[in-house]
Chain A
Amino acid sequence: MNWFHPHLNSRRADQSVFLIFGFVGIILLRFFWLQVVGAHDFTLQSAENRLRRVILPAPRGIIVDRNGVVIAENVPGFTVLIHAQAEDVLRETLSGISELAGLDTAVVRRAVRNWRDRPGDPVTVLRDAPPEVVARLEERRVVFPGLVIQAEPKRSYPSGALGAHAIGYLGELTPTDISENRFPGARSGSLVGRVGLEFQYDDRLRGLDGESFIEVDALGRTVRTTGVGPRVEPTQGDTLHTMLDVELQRYISHLFRRDFGIAGRGAVMAIDPRDGAVLALHSAPSYDPNAFIGSSAAGERAELLSSPQLPLFNRAIQGRYPPASPWKLAVAAMALEKGLITMDTKMQIPCTGGYQYGNRFFRCWKTDGHGPVTLLEAIQHSCDVYFYQLGIMLGLDELLEGGVALGFSDLTGIDLPGETRSLYPASTDYFNELYGRRGWTSGVTLNLAIGQGENDQTLVNMMRFYSMLANGGSAPVPYLVDSLPSGRRNYDFRAGVLEGLRESLEEVVLEGTASAAQIANLRIGGKTGTAQNSHGEDHGWFIAFAPVDNPVVVVGAIVEFAEHGSSVAPMVNCIVARHVIGSEFECPTRGLQFSDFPADSAPEPLEVLRDIRRGRLR
């Protein structure tokens, strides 16, 4: 064993020690590389590993009425979210909790879709989870990795269905919203305004989401929720001060139901004619916007969406109706402005219950006839024969031009989404195109003159016209939150024209078609109307303002199947009085019979193919 020589032995030992330190040195170099050079990057990675960002949803701004009464607010609610790093993890968790939380397949599908939109981000599974579900899930949170139960403010509408069509409701951001960038800045899975003010002023109401961090373990289970990372508190959205008057709104809702029953359909608006502020907007039937919150009301929601009564349809700004007699004021204004007549002018042919024009006989609503009437009386009693002749006197071109000039084919520009444009032909080309050059007669003039025919107006557009009448020729844009002074239209009428018209409107209420709806000590001017409805009972109009010498409010109503305007007048006048006089005003209970009211119906209109017309009219 001569290789066991001390010298060689020692050399090998030294080589071994050198090797040991060499290896240790290499390892330490590697650690130096990771721990000293790469420390920053790895510290970041370590934080990314264990920290998950959680959005703290900003409470939406509250909506108040003109007196500070809260219309839309936030109440505490719970949202169930899932944090998942992979889709199969998400699906696993979803199927795990689906029974506990009562999830249906639609919810699961949406959650998966939202996850795919932004993989890795938490997805909302259940909004406004009921307390018992929250308790059940909380108990088993350890079992389900990534399950987060978060307090999230939930929208609430304390007045329920009152003014729902003005306020609107919320809905989750949809893929279409995202692709069309309808709500810039809105986070996926968040709630945004769907209609009404909630939609119109969504950016102001939305606020700024905050964020916090939670710590998760390797399996994605939440370990710690507080003190983990920087926390940015959410900022609540702006408070929206509206012009609405909840009390008036409540009163309108009450009267409408009293007079037209729970199934009554129609719309009522109250506007301050001086600046266009919308005091109340009622559309019946209404709906409870709270039904669009949370997962518990899904059934109610589906019912609203499918109801044949179309409760979600905003009849005040989306419903188009033949304007009927209230529109006669437009004809009168045109004629007066042209100087063709004065308030005292009588027509050649007195009213005998109808008017022979060509080979057609146009009836007046009053078969006995009104006899020889002045313009004032014609308005007062809504004499059709007078306006047939006035229409002919003006001529079709003037009638069309004047109507367009008065804004009858425009949008009002009210600050609500989805306003429907009113329909009114701009020129005779319209008729040529529709019926052919020889396919129509100047009989259309007679129809137009009494607010029938090719003329469909929204309530809000008629409200603007009556605001103009009430306000001395200046028609402000109706608004709920932001007034649009630039949209105000001013009409310079000859001296005395508007005064004369207002006087005649007061006569309507004093002794005319709305005389049954007089209010003591209040000078109200208004005009009834009955719109022909081929589908059933006629629609009733009444638009009124008060006080006549200095109007502060215009209230208009269109009630479907109300038979005639005279039956709408008492409600409208009570609303006017309530606003002008105050809450001490009491509306007389309805003792009068319908038959007591004169039915200022128009004759049947010239037959027109309505469907085609709608499509063509600009």
Chain B
Amino acid sequence: MSPARREGLNWPFAASVLMLALFGLAAVYSAGQTDVPTVAAFAWRKQMVWLGVGLVAGLVSYRFSSRGLESFSLPVYIFAILLLLFTLAFGTGAGTAAGVKSWLSIGGVRLGQPAEFAKLALILMLARVLAHRQEPPNSLKELLPAGIVAGLPFLLVMQQPDLGSAIVFIGILFAMLFWAGVNPWLLVLLASPGLSLLLSFSTLSWAFWIVFVTGVLWFTRITLIESIIIWAANVFMGVVAFGLWGALAPYQRSRLLSFLNPEVDPQATGWHLIQSKVAIGSGGIFGKGYLDGTQKRLAFLPEQHTDFIFSVVGEELGFLGVIVAMLLFAILLVSLVKIAQRAADSFSYMVVFGFVGLLMTHVLENVGMTVGLMPITGIPLPLFSYGGSFTLACFLGLGVAMRVDRDSLLSGYLGVGGGGI
């Protein structure tokens, strides 16, 4: 290990973070430049403050060794669960989802969204649970602790109800299980009841699905009891789908529906998606020019500084701008994977990849939503969307990743694939 490497900066990582943050700030600024007054007008100033606060938070989290983090993980997780419970009881709504109890506020001042904090807490707790196993969990029974750890915040957030964040918990769980070496087919089986639910809207597709699941159950050779449980869960989901449908809040239902067919009600639910697609599509290859997006300027884009910030990018900077942004995200994610890969200890190894899962889910869900690939759930785009809690969470995670990166360099232990980037 040369001294240069020891002191060296992880350039792809640092550069992608810096560029994404600047890109994001520029997008938030543009989102505020409209011909009609919107709430987004001065969001960029606050976002600058949040970036500063995030930077400080990142430096603070950078101070924590993995050992320290590991020892904190249980209290942090418990605290996060308590916060979620508290939010359910006293939370308030805001923005896109005013009817949702996702904010904690004291005396009318909103303090933040506990769900964002809970995502980090879940990563720490899962890392703790998974890092100390001798073998990767390879049965439902062995997956049970991790499932409970993730399921608890998932259910609490679903109660708010905030489908978007809930999906992120699932994303983190699956990413970390995968990274812990769980057989991917087992993950498919684990996910199968949920997919079964989605596919049950079409009887034919569900029929194919249940045949597929049966096949997978056969070949993965998991225990008979577990096979029966999974199979039964699939059947159950398929059958009760419509009962569950009734249990969804009306806005959730209409969002799901408008995801499936946005033209159903262009003035109401599908409006956001249609306007977003029009903005992005009309951007063309080169875009309408920075600050010049008409859909944005005339406030056709909903929540253009938060949930639909990427539509602004697509409209003003076109396909080229989208490629640049997505490549930056890819570089960041890949460099995080590399950091996780060469982590000095198994806890760090898990934590960093949990963060990869978090970022990945957010990017896929948010960007996918703007083009109709994902249902409109209203979760922020990392480093782009205006918002305090999530920006803070991102920088906390990035700080941890940096520390892990540094520690792995200092320890001199490099995994086989981790020859450095």
Main secondary structure of the interface of B (DSSP, over half): helix
- Which residues, 101 to 153 on B, are CB-close (under 8 Å) to A? 131-136
> Is A297 an interface position by the 8 A CB rule?
no
Encode contact with A along B325-342: 1 for CB under 8 Å, 0 otherwise. 011011001100110110
B416 touches A39 (CB 8 A): no
A45 touches B278 (CB 8 A): yes
**A21 and B340 alpha carbons, distance in the complex (Å):** 17
Within the complex, the shortest CB–CB distance from B135 to chain A, in Å, comes to 6
Within the complex, the shortest CB–CB distance from B55 to chain A, in Å, comes to 25
In the complex, what residue of chain B is closest to A39 when comparing beta carbons? B284
**A45 and B371 alpha carbons, distance in the complex (Å):** 15
- Which residues, 151 to 200 on B, are CB-close (under 8 Å) to A? 178-181
Interface size class of A (residues with CB under 8 A): 35 or more
Q: Which residues of chain A are near B323, meaning CB under 8 Å? A: 28, 31
B319 touches A2 (CB 8 A): no
A-B contact count (CB 8 A): 153
Of A2, A31, A218, A221, the contact of B280 (CB 8 Å cutoff): A31
> Is A594 an interface position by the 8 A CB rule?
no
> Is A41 an interface position by the 8 A CB rule?
yes
Known contacts being A34-B281, A217-B36, is A2 close to B346, with CB within 8 Å? no
> Is A609 an interface position by the 8 A CB rule?
no
> Is A340 an interface position by the 8 A CB rule?
no
> Is B389 an interface position by the 8 A CB rule?
no
Q: Which residues of chain A are near B349, meaning CB under 8 Å? A: 4
B367 touches A35 (CB 8 A): no
> Is A10 an interface position by the 8 A CB rule?
yes
**A38 and B280 alpha carbons, distance in the complex (Å):** 10
Of A16, A35, A49, the contact of B337 (CB 8 Å cutoff): A16
Known contacts being A3-B136, A9-B341, A35-B319, is A20 close to B333, with CB within 8 Å? yes
Give the number of residues in B that approach A within 8 Å (Cβ atoms).
Answer: 56
Q: Which residues of chain A are near B341, meaning CB under 8 Å? A: 9-10, 12-13
Encode contact with B along A202-224: 1 for CB under 8 Å, 0 otherwise. 00000000000001111101011
A28 touches B322 (CB 8 A): yes
> Is B398 an interface position by the 8 A CB rule?
no
Of A9, A24, A86, the contact of B416 (CB 8 Å cutoff): A9
Within the complex, the shortest CB–CB distance from A413 to chain B, in Å, comes to 56
Known contacts being A6-B416, A13-B341, is A31 close to B178, with CB within 8 Å? no
In the complex, what residue of chain A is closest to B34 when comparing beta carbons? A217
> Is A296 an interface position by the 8 A CB rule?
no
Encode contact with B along A3-39: 1 for CB under 8 Å, 0 otherwise. 1101111101111110011011011101110111011
Which residues does B use to contact A, with CB under 8 Å? 35-36, 131-136, 178-181, 267, 275, 277-285, 294-295, 298-300, 314, 318-319, 322-323, 326-327, 329-330, 333-334, 337-338, 340-341, 346, 349, 353, 356, 360, 364, 367-368, 371, 373, 415-417
Q: Which 8 A-B pairs have the closest CB atoms?
A: A42-B281, A6-B416, A10-B417, A46-B282, A39-B284, A217-B298, A35-B319, A3-B181
Q: A12-B179, A224-B35 are in contact. List 18 more A-B contacts (CB 8 A).
A: A3-B133, A8-B181, A13-B338, A14-B417, A16-B179, A16-B353, A23-B360, A27-B367, A34-B281, A34-B314, A36-B284, A39-B285, A42-B278, A46-B294, A46-B295, A215-B298, A217-B35, A218-B298
A-B residue pairs in contact (CB < 8 Å), sample of 28:
A1-B133, A1-B134, A10-B416, A14-B417, A15-B178, A16-B337, A16-B356, A20-B330, A20-B333, A20-B360, A23-B360, A27-B326, A28-B326, A30-B373, A34-B281, A35-B280, A35-B322, A36-B284, A38-B281, A39-B282, A42-B281, A46-B279, A46-B282, A46-B295, A85-B267, A215-B298, A219-B36, A219-B299
